[in-house]
């Protein structure tokens, strides 16, 4: 086999700029293919009307679990719902459009894993309209020991899902 002086060339061997351009084209194509699926999953289309039209919520603290500082966790939940600016939090469940009941289960021994469950309940019928759970740790618990506050927080995850399913604030017609 003789060397003719020609080298094989392609986007991956012609230097970093061509390789980067090739890589970006592939990533862009993948994003275009996946984007419709992501946006379809981001806002469920079958949300009960009670959730979509709700303006007021009562936060039910059902976090009672051993080994948990439930006051800190509930304060984190309360602040998170307030920051969403989607619902007005009321202190009387009889006046609420929805009941948001948060519960907590601890497991895992020394490496405590916390499972937060949110049930969205119609106060008139007591029917659970929607439920979501996630497991991990909360800033309320690890925040004092772990200064990395960018760490995954199970409460933030559940609240992010609440924001997705509750949609924008309903408009008032006059």
pLDDT band at 10 (very low <50, low <70, confident <90, very high): very low
Query: Percentage of residues in the chain with pLDDT exceeding 90?
Result: 30
Q: Which of 19-28, 61-70, 86-95, 114-123 has the lowest mean pLDDT?
A: 19-28
- Please tell me the distance from the alpha carbon of residue 160 to that of residue 136, in angstroms, as a whole number: 15
What average pLDDT does this structure show over 82-95? 94
pLDDT band at 94 (very low <50, low <70, confident <90, very high): very high
Across-strand partners of 62? Answer: 103
Instruction: Indicate whether 85 pLDDT > 80.
Output: yes
- Please tell me the distance from the alpha carbon of residue 36 to that of residue 20, in angstroms, as a whole number: 25
Nearest to 141 by CA among 67, 47, 86: 67
Strand locations in the chain (E): 56-62, 88-89, 98-107, 113-121, 128-136
Q: Which of 2-11, 22-31, 46-55 has the highest mean pLDDT?
A: 46-55
- Please tell me the distance from the alpha carbon of residue 51 to that of residue 57, in angstroms, as a whole number: 10
156 contacts 73 by C-beta, under 8 angstroms: no
How far separated are the first and last CA of the chain, in Å rounded?
Answer: 85
């Amino acid at each position: 086999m003789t060397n003719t002086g020609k080298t094989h060339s392609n986007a991956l061997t012609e230097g970093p700029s061509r390789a980067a351009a090739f890589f970006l084209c592939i990533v862009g194509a993948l994003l275009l293919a996946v984007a419709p699926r992501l946006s379809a999953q981001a806002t469920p289309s079958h949300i009960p009307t009670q959730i979509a039209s709700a303006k007021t919520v009562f936060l039910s603290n059902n976090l009672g679990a051993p080994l948990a500082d439930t006051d800190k966790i509930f304060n984190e939940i309360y602040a998170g719902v307030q920051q969403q600016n989607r619902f007005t939090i009321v202190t009387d469940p009889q006046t609420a459009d929805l009941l948001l009941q948060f519960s907590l289960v601890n497991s895992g021994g020394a490496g405590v894993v916390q499972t937060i469950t949110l049930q969205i309940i119609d106060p008139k019928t007591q029917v659970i309209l929607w439920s979501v759970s996630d497991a991990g740790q909360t800033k309320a618990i690890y925040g004092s020991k772990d200064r990395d506050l960018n760490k995954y927080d199970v409460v933030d995850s559940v609240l992010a899902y609440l924001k997705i399913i509750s949609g924008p604030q309903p408009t008032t017609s006059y």
